[in-house]
Structure 1
Amino acid sequence: MLATLARSCARARWSVTTVWVTAVVMLSVLAGAFAGPTSDDFSLPGSESQRASDLLADAGFEASAGTQAQVVLHAPDGVATPQVRAAVEDLAAAIEDELPGAEVVSPFAPGGDRQISPGGDIAYLQVDLPHRDPAEVAASGEQLLALADDVGVAGLQVELGLQVEEQEPAGAPAEVIGLIAAAVILLIAFGSVVAMLLPLAIGVLGALCGVAGVELAAHVIAVPSYAGAAAGMIAIGVGIDYALLVVTRFREALHDGLPVPDAVALAQHTAGRSVLFAGVTVVIATLGLVFMGIELITGMAIGIAAAVLVAMLAAVTLLPALLGIVGPRLQRAQARPRRRLAGGGDGSGAAAERWSRTVQRRPALWVAGALAALAVLAVPVLDLRLGFSDAGTMPEESSARQAYDLVADGFGPGVNGPLVVAVDAPSGDAEPLAADLAAAFATDGGVAAVSPPVVSRDGGTAVLQVVPTSAPRDEATTDLVHRLREDVVPPVVAGTGGEVAIGGAQPAAIDFADYTAQRLPLFLSVVLGLSFLLLAVVFRGLLVALKAVVVNLLSIGAAFGALVAVFQWGRLAGALGIEGTGPIEAWVPMLLIAIVFGLSMDYEVFLLSRIREEYDRTGDNAAAVATGLARTARVITAAAAIMVCVFGSFVLGADRDLQLFGFGLAVAILIDATLVRMVLVPATMELLGRANWWLPGWLDRRLPHLTVEGSVSLPREPVRETAGVR
């Protein structure tokens, strides 16, 4: 089917190319004009933090149930001078005028003295916004920044402390750097500018469609602000990867003397089927996250799956058309002596075969060494902590980061993330219960301060603010929230009939992280189980499939370990330009597992297909492993190097979410292409010998037969000569 489709696309090459280009341009224009709003709200329906927000909103505390912000003031000579005081009072009045519904507490208002630091040089206005909608909060943040900039007192520093403050996207330069690196690798691998441009075109096209699709989908589903950049990053990586495999097979076919139409058909019949299998695997694994029921992850998953789907479709339709256009030029180039990309007698295949033989001579030693290296890399994963970063990990030049640091210096780190406690009493008098809770909270060593209760008009609901002694992203704050909920609140509430819910930004992040952590083992089990099933069906061997599952698990563990070491512990963080340390973003592990699973299946199928093909031909397991590695090593290395560059380039950006995601993908691909494919696979397959392909007869009869790569002896189809295609 793919061969027929490829021939049709090659014949109608100009029409297919025109349709694709037109569709991409129209989609990009539509996205630019009608992009939907993004949402970074990680609140979880049914969680305690969401219940706290609902209770306060129902009782008329719309501002307390919304978003808290701080306008931070720093005056080296003191904030109590007449000039500063007058400016602060004017600013408070302007905020109330410009942002209807916002509640503003000035440090100079009655009871506001706690908002002036003991040193007297730092103060803040507490601004409670009545809404949680990300678009509204972002608009309010821009207004607050504009009002803060209008304060014209000499020597007075005014910063806005708002965690959801939007930053200018920093992904474009990173993407350009990644594309340049990919172009260099492709040029070295192919030795041809024309051949180099084809995978780049597929990758860029997939990225443009992916980003546009995410922006338009934001009208229908909740999409985080970084979903477009993440989808673009994945589309570039897999688009180039898929096109690289197809173009490699196409050039090999030209080298063997096939005319362009037959070479296009053969490339799609073999490598194209691998691309289809790998792409569908990534899409299915990523869309599996939709069933986790987490809105934030659902938006990311759908965006990435759509981007991969477009890249895959472009590789099996647009790429044959482009090969039909440039094929004659590549055919003439193939007539000249040139190093081939993979296998054969090009020297690279001989080197890979020698390496495989070296590993196979002492397989047990190489397995032990590789497993030891993976274990060392994976050790930090034992300290993995899921959560969300705060303003303390933002770039130092941002207003939110400077406000965060000033508040921490003047008042303590916990003021940056107070807990909001909702107290509801069915008796209609919540004040006594709230007072008892405040006294109980104050005895906890992790609590720095507790505000006096504020009671609703009907008296049935009260709100407290609890200030931790630790920063919002610290593990101590997570422990405090769990301790207050599980140990402190129940004894106080018992027998009163009241309801207490602890909410706020940080408890909401903790609820989200706990939810994902509980479901992560199940998701990992499903992904690895599917991997085992697919490989067992495709390669008719239980042990070869089990081996793949185990090494995939080890490589994922090593990638997570590297994430913890760099982003949570801070190892090499300064050298990589990463600001601050904190927990691993709670949405990253599931997406990382889904995508790495799909990409590793791509390499696994590509390598094992060649090994199985040789084994079926000769019956010699050792020779099959060496030959299979020789035929695929250079392609796998080039593809992996490209994806490492594309994903790793996002570490150079300013968005911590994308830094973390890109770094995790880059490390996982690097490990998979080196320790796994070049060491563990040949060594373990040598140890297992013929047992690699063992499959009980009764199971062999019941399992469906699924072939990923078609036969290399594709019958030629007579084609009419057309201009430029022979």
Structure 2
Amino acid sequence: MGNGDTRVRGIAARAGGWSARHRWAAVGIWVLFVVLATGLGSAAGRVDLKENDQLKGETHTAAQIIKDADITEPASETVLIQAKDANAKATDAEFRDAVAAVVKGVEGTGKVTDVTSPYDTKTISKDGRSALVQFDLRGDAETAGDRVEPVLNAVKDVQKDHSELRIEEIGGASMQKTFSDAFGDDFKKAEYSAVPVAFGILLIAFGALVAALLPVALAITAIMATMGLMGIVSHLQPMSDSANSVMLLVGLAVGVDYCLFYLRREREEREAGRDADAALRIAAATSGRAIIVSGVTVCVAMAGMLFTGLAGFEAMGLASLMVVAVAMVGSVTVLPALLSLLGERVEKGRIPFLRRRRRKGNGESRLWTAVLRGVLAKPALSVVLAAGALLAVAAPAVGMKTQNLTLDQEFGNSLPIVGTYNRVNDAFPGGSDPAEVVVTAKDINAPEVRDALADFKARAVSSGASRGPVEIKLHDAQNVAFVYVPLVGGSDQDKAGASLEKLRDEVRPATLGKVDGVQAPITGQVAGSHDFNDQLIGSVVPVFAFVVVFAFLLMLLSFRSLTVAITSIALNLLSVGAAYGILVAVFQHGWGASLVGAEGVGAIVTWLPLFLFVILFGLSMDYHVFVVSRIREARLRGRSTKEAIRHGVVTTAGVVTSAAIIMVAVFAIFGTLSMQSMKQMGVGLAAAVLIDATIIRGVLLPAVMALLGERNWYLPKWLNRLPDFTHDEAPEAALPPAREGERAGV
């Protein structure tokens, strides 16, 4: 491959060279890998996370007791019968007829068991206008939503005959079915529309069908292989649908980006007059190296999720890490082979009305050339204005309020069942989501245990944590008892949380806690949210520290510059801060909330800030590594620091902009979903990537580097012993000649 071979070092350059020389072998190995991973994953099957296995703390302890006792908890359902007339009461004959009709109707389906009348269980509201018929659905609780429709229909039939009453069903199974019907296809539509959107933008960027197809093909094959690997890995670390959706998002983003970086550099070198082999070799040594540095950095960021101790986050982190690694390997191995095979045919399928206007000189963007001229002329002013604007955008994040969104916050008035949920909670505070105390003892029927259970039941009400009724269900054979405690506060997360703490910290120690050998962890919806928040808050510092420290070390080793490492971390943190500020402004304060359909949410979903930090830090590094690599390359080839900055930014601006537009478009699709948590994720990611690719990379980065000058490349002598991961490409003299315009940097 010419006299430059011995001068080009690094994994990416060697991989690209081998791939170009063994084109069919490289393509064959990649196809075999994708087919094997997909086949083995399909054969192994995916093990999904159980809902109760996602948490630690008391929620997990309770789930383990139930599992060890081999008790299968059914899905519980409730039918609310409520008088519309303020003067009507549950004791009225017509009301009693409706209750009897509900009991008869649900029993007649053959799908339910343990049907209870409110007149037996005393589940009649304080004002006497509401009552609850309660029952369990037969079969596995996790699939109960598939079997609940006949029961829902039976309740609707009773409602038709009693128009003066409100008769509505709610419970785990009915909510599962409602959400699945309403939003199950929402995610699939978003996922399926992401690929055509990315392809459309690539078609505009390249103006050629084949060139646009390559990044999409690489991303899709990387995603397919990762799905297979997820199936295999799930037997060690269970996966989830959420992990799958995040993997698809990240895989599409980085898969397209990496291919875009490589392909654009190869085309630039060809336009600069280099032959096909030389163009590929340079792309491998430059963009290929940037892809590896970026990929490893993104993988490290994603690995931060493994430190949360939350199984759901661990699944998302592992799935994202795998897809980034697969896309990175594919970009530096099979892509050079495909480009070598296609040659000029990569320009096939030119779209006449999308024919790209020739850029000025060596692939330099006219728009960013004009912007950079102003930025580099007055770098100090540019830093003050850009950093000031981003700090102003980030300012609302100081007052961020996070919580697990209630049903009406998550779905608004879009689903009738949300109204049912609120009506049940108004009439029976905490009735929809009672705390569940799982009591286990050597002998659950021992007198001291029975007395403690009775005492707990009484004190739960007298302490003010519950208004009752408190229900106890015994499993004598397993020596386990379930105590169901409706919490005061109902759907108000803060008040219900305070009631839960009262149960855990006051009522339990004074009753069940006094009996030796008794365990009584408290679980349920509110307890799960409480334990999740505690676990999440406890993991924030280690996750942040891990991601920042390791990203700093990788940048230090990859660029051999303390300054570059520090500025990269600072700029990324500023980008994440701005994203937080936008989220708080829109979803918490409601500024412009109507534009995205987010009125009245008033909070940020608990898991989002940490999730966004990890994802955004990784994706921001993607652009940062690519731009700084180009600047460093120009500097090594003899340009002044200021000229290297100008050259590096304007020559990468096009590809960074194209990549950012794709990411913004894909993330914005998720911002259109009905669920507020998904909407927040989509808006946060889209806003952050847009800010990062424009203000951060186009203004702040070049301005800061211009101010620092030669100090950009500062490395203290005591750090010279660090491993050298720079793998610098061959100097200009060792590469095949290019046109004069390219050498002059025109």
Give the structure-1-normalised TM-score: 0.83
Partner of 1:50 in structure 2? 60
Q: Deviations over 1:465-485 (max 9, x none)?
A: 333343447333334434543
Give the superposition deviation at 1:257: 2.5
Partner of 2:151 in structure 1? 147
Question: Is residue 85 from structure 1 mapped to residue 85 from structure 2 by the alignment?
Answer: no
CA–CA separation in structure 1 for the residues paired with 2:454 and 2:240: 39
Give the superposition deviation at 1:437: 4.2
Secondary structure of the residue aligned to 2:555 is helix
Question: Is residue 613 from structure 1 mapped to residue 603 from structure 2 by the alignment?
Answer: no
Question: Is residue 521 from structure 1 mapped to residue 541 from structure 2 by the alignment?
Answer: yes
Partner of 1:675 in structure 2? 695
Q: Which amino acid aligns with 2:548?
A: L
Question: Does the CA-based 8 Å contact 2:83-2:129 persist in structure 1?
Answer: no
CA–CA separation in structure 2 for the residues paired with 1:22 and 1:399: 50
CA–CA separation in structure 2 for the residues paired with 1:82 and 1:45: 42
Where do 1:59-208 residues align within 5 Å? 62=71, 68-72=76-80, 81=95, 84-93=98-107, 98=111, 104-108=114-118, 110-114=120-124, 118-120=128-130, 123-127=132-136, 136-151=140-155, 152-153=157-158, 155=160, 158-162=168-172, 164-165=176-177, 167=180, 168-208=184-224
Where do 1:347-366 residues align within 5 Å? 348=365, 350-366=366-382
CA–CA separation in structure 1 for the residues paired with 2:80 and 2:474: 27
Question: Is residue 533 from structure 1 mapped to residue 543 from structure 2 by the alignment?
Answer: no
Question: Does the CA-based 8 Å contact 2:575-2:696 persist in structure 1?
Answer: yes
Q: Which amino acid aligns with 1:430?
A: V
CA–CA separation in structure 2 for the residues paired with 1:58 and 1:193: 58
Give the superposition deviation at 1:567: 4.7
Q: Deviations over 1:49-70 (max 9, x none)?
A: 333455677789x46x676543
Partner of 2:51 in structure 1? 41
Question: Does the CA-based 8 Å contact 2:438-2:522 persist in structure 1?
Answer: yes
CA–CA separation in structure 1 for the residues paired with 2:462 and 2:386: 51
Cα distance change of structure 1 residues 345 and 250 upon mapping to structure 2, 3 Å threshold: closer
Question: Is residue 502 from structure 1 mapped to residue 510 from structure 2 by the alignment?
Answer: no
Question: Does the CA-based 8 Å contact 2:304-2:546 persist in structure 1?
Answer: no
CA–CA separation in structure 1 for the residues paired with 2:216 and 2:690: 20
545-554 vs 324-333, which moves further: 324-333
Question: Does the CA-based 8 Å contact 2:23-2:338 persist in structure 1?
Answer: yes
Cα distance change of structure 1 residues 445 and 352 upon mapping to structure 2, 3 Å threshold: farther
CA–CA separation in structure 2 for the residues paired with 1:613 and 1:687: 19
Give the superposition deviation at 1:516: 1.7
Partner of 1:245 in structure 2? 261
Q: Which amino acid aligns with 1:690?
A: E
Give the superposition deviation at 1:521: 1.2
Cα distance change of structure 1 residues 654 and 222 upon mapping to structure 2, 3 Å threshold: farther
Cα distance change of structure 1 residues 6 and 73 upon mapping to structure 2, 3 Å threshold: farther
May I ask how many residue pairs the two structures share in their alignment? 701
Question: Does the CA-based 8 Å contact 1:453-1:462 persist in structure 2?
Answer: yes
Give the superposition deviation at 1:670: 1.9
CA–CA separation in structure 2 for the residues paired with 1:145 and 1:56: 28
CA–CA separation in structure 2 for the residues paired with 1:416 and 1:196: 51
Cα distance change of structure 1 residues 383 and 443 upon mapping to structure 2, 3 Å threshold: farther
CA–CA separation in structure 2 for the residues paired with 1:341 and 1:440: 79
Cα distance change of structure 1 residues 212 and 475 upon mapping to structure 2, 3 Å threshold: farther
Question: Is residue 632 from structure 1 mapped to residue 632 from structure 2 by the alignment?
Answer: no
Question: Does the CA-based 8 Å contact 1:234-1:308 persist in structure 2?
Answer: yes
Cα distance change of structure 1 residues 452 and 252 upon mapping to structure 2, 3 Å threshold: closer
Partner of 2:306 in structure 1? 290
CA–CA separation in structure 1 for the residues paired with 2:358 and 2:23: 25
Give the superposition deviation at 1:694: 2.2
Question: Does the CA-based 8 Å contact 2:80-2:132 persist in structure 1?
Answer: yes
Give the superposition deviation at 1:180: 3.5
Partner of 2:729 in structure 1? 710
Question: Does the CA-based 8 Å contact 2:77-2:169 persist in structure 1?
Answer: no
Partner of 1:407 in structure 2? 424
Residue segments in structure 2 that go unaligned for 5+ positions in a row = 1-10, 162-166, 737-746
Cα distance change of structure 1 residues 12 and 113 upon mapping to structure 2, 3 Å threshold: same
Secondary structure of the residue aligned to 1:581 is coil
Secondary structure of the residue aligned to 2:123 is helix
Q: Which amino acid aligns with 1:653?
A: L
Partner of 2:7 in structure 1? none
Question: Does the CA-based 8 Å contact 1:596-1:668 persist in structure 2?
Answer: yes
Secondary structure of the residue aligned to 1:282 is helix
Percent of pairs identical after alignment? 30
Q: Which amino acid aligns with 2:318?
A: I
Q: Which amino acid aligns with 1:89?
A: V
Q: Which amino acid aligns with 2:646?
A: A
Give the superposition deviation at 1:243: 0.7
**Which residue, out of 569, 576, 582, partners 1:556?**
576
Q: Deviations over 1:349-397 (max 9, x none)?
A: x432332232244434433333333333334434445554454424756
Cα distance change of structure 1 residues 684 and 347 upon mapping to structure 2, 3 Å threshold: closer
CA–CA separation in structure 2 for the residues paired with 1:178 and 1:150: 40
Q: Which amino acid aligns with 2:528?
A: A
Give the superposition deviation at 1:83: 6.2
Question: Does the CA-based 8 Å contact 2:664-2:690 persist in structure 1?
Answer: yes
Q: Which amino acid aligns with 1:676?
A: I
Question: Does the CA-based 8 Å contact 1:245-1:635 persist in structure 2?
Answer: yes
Q: Which amino acid aligns with 1:170?
A: D
Q: Deviations over 1:157-192 (max 9, x none)?
A: 654422555622422322344334333332332232
Question: Does the CA-based 8 Å contact 1:543-1:693 persist in structure 2?
Answer: yes
CA–CA separation in structure 1 for the residues paired with 2:716 and 2:33: 50
Give the superposition deviation at 1:324: 2.9
Question: Does the CA-based 8 Å contact 1:231-1:307 persist in structure 2?
Answer: yes
Give the superposition deviation at 1:313: 2.5
CA–CA separation in structure 1 for the residues paired with 2:252 and 2:488: 44
Give the superposition deviation at 1:258: 2.8
Q: Deviations over 1:454-503 (max 9, x none)?
A: 66659987654333343447333334434543456556677665655332
Where do 1:562-641 residues align within 5 Å? 562-567=582-587, 572-577=592-597, 581=601, 584-618=604-638, 620-641=640-661
Q: Which amino acid aligns with 1:662?
A: G
Question: Does the CA-based 8 Å contact 1:387-1:510 persist in structure 2?
Answer: no
Partner of 1:720 in structure 2? none
Question: Does the CA-based 8 Å contact 1:428-1:459 persist in structure 2?
Answer: no
Secondary structure of the residue aligned to 2:486 is strand
Q: Which amino acid aligns with 2:152?
A: A
CA–CA separation in structure 1 for the residues paired with 2:35 and 2:678: 26
163-172 vs 600-609, which moves further: 163-172
287-296 vs 670-679, which moves further: 287-296
CA–CA separation in structure 1 for the residues paired with 2:122 and 2:269: 78
Where do 1:381-460 residues align within 5 Å? 381-384=397-400, 388-392=404-408, 393-394=410-411, 401=418, 403-408=420-425, 410-412=427-429, 414-422=430-438, 428-438=447-457, 440-442=459-461, 447-449=466-468, 451=470
Partner of 1:223 in structure 2? 239
Cα distance change of structure 1 residues 313 and 662 upon mapping to structure 2, 3 Å threshold: farther
Give the superposition deviation at 1:249: 0.6
Secondary structure of the residue aligned to 1:226 is helix
CA–CA separation in structure 2 for the residues paired with 1:454 and 1:599: 51
Where do 1:648-687 residues align within 5 Å? 648-654=668-674, 658-687=678-707
Give the superposition deviation at 1:272: 1.4
Secondary structure of the residue aligned to 2:715 is coil
Give the superposition deviation at 1:514: 0.9
Give the superposition deviation at 1:603: 1.4
Question: Does the CA-based 8 Å contact 1:286-1:594 persist in structure 2?
Answer: yes
Question: Does the CA-based 8 Å contact 1:274-1:709 persist in structure 2?
Answer: no
Give the superposition deviation at 1:594: 2.9
